């Protein structure tokens, strides 16, 4: 059972169902987590905004302090959360480039060569 994966094996699904049946707050948190994941599977920003709004209302009404606090934070960053739909850009590529630059800088420092760093940056 991994992070962000669906539970498909029968034994894990049974264990999860038993745990959720025994613990109502855990059940609420689990189902709200699954609903929150649905935001990014929406094809349009308006639909994602509706799903997020529903999630925020449910979290605020959950009577679970941590969820209520998270809802306040999410409401503060609602515009930023939905901004992905405007350009659909991921920061993954930028992080990769920044990592390469960091590695090149470290390598250039060990060689004491600014020229090497400049040439390496142009190679990206």
Residue-wise pLDDT for 58-74, tens only, equals 999 998 999 999 999 99
pTM value is 0.57
The lowest-confidence range among 3-12, 25-34, 114-123 is 3-12
* Long-range contact set of residues 70-79: C-beta below 8 Å, sequence gap at least 24: 78/49, 78/52
Domain segments of the chain as ranges: 10-87, 92-123
Distance CA 40, CA 33 (A): 12
Residues of the chain above pLDDT 70, percent? 75
């Amino acid at each position: 059972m991994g992070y962000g994966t669906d539970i498909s094996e029968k034994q894990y699904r049974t264990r999860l169902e038993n745990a959720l049946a025994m613990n109502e707050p855990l059940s609420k948190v689990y189902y709200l987590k699954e609903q929150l994941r649905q935001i990014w599977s929406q094809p349009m920003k308006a639909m994602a905004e509706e799903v997020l709004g529903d999630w925020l209302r449910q979290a605020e009404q959950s009577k679970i302090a941590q969820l209520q606090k998270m809802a306040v934070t999410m409401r503060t960053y609602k515009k930023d959360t939905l901004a992905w739909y405007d350009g659909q850009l991921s920061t993954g590529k930028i992080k990769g480039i920044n990592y390469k630059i960091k590695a090149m800088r470290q390598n250039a420092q060990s060689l004491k060569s600014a020229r090497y760093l400049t040439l390496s940056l142009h190679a990206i």
